[in-house]
């Protein structure tokens, strides 16, 4: 089980590193304060923050695996929800699904979201691995 958990977390890490690359390229070209072509400051700040949160989640997947799995889930859920909202806001009326389907980044994010949702239990490290990384593991019973 520990090997399977590590392999799944490696896939998560590879996907997050790909996203990190995209965010770093954008920041390198436009700077930290870019408005992403006129979106609101909250959206711009969110996207820029992923430049830092994505690689942090990658590190956590190996240093604090359970925290890394949770962080990966939070990042991809919020990213997809936010990006779908952006598409809904800017897509021509009646073209939401076509706009999503035509965007390879959006499709890949949704695929990653589905993959994380389907494999999170496999990615969750077994108790002995979590303890080895200094994470507390509950026994399911009340403390004495």
* DSSP, residue by residue, 30-86: H-TT--TTT--HHHHHHHHHHHHHHHHHHHHHHHSHHHHHHHHHHHHHHHHHHHHHH
CB distance 116 to 76 below 8 Å: yes
d(CA 47, CA 121): 27
107-135 pLDDT, tens digit per residue, is 999 999 999 999 999 999 887 765 666 66
pTM of the model: 0.85
78-110 pLDDT, tens digit per residue, is 999 999 999 999 899 999 999 999 999 999 999
Task: State the Cα angle at 110 between 108 and 116, rounded to 5°.
Answer: 100
CB distance 71 to 13 below 8 Å: no
User: What is the predicted pLDDT for the residue at 144?
Assistant: 33
């Amino acid at each position: 089980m520990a090997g399977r958990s590590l392999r799944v977390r490696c896939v998560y890490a590879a996907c997050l590193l790909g996203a990190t690359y995209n965010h770093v390229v954008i920041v390198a070209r436009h700077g930290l304060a870019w408005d992403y072509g006129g979106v609101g400051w909250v959206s711009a700040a969110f996207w820029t923050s992923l430049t830092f949160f994505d690689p942090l989640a990658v590190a956590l997947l190996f240093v604090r695996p359970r925290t890394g799995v949770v962080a990966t889930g939070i990042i991809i859920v919020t990213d997809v929800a936010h990006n779908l909202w952006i598409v809904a806001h800017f897509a021509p009326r009646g073209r939401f699904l076509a706009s999503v389907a035509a965007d390879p980044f959006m499709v890949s994010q949704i695929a990653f979201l589905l993959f994380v949702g389907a494999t999170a239990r496999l990615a969750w490290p077994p108790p002995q691995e979590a303890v080895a990384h200094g994470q507390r593991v509950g026994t399911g019973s009340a403390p004495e």
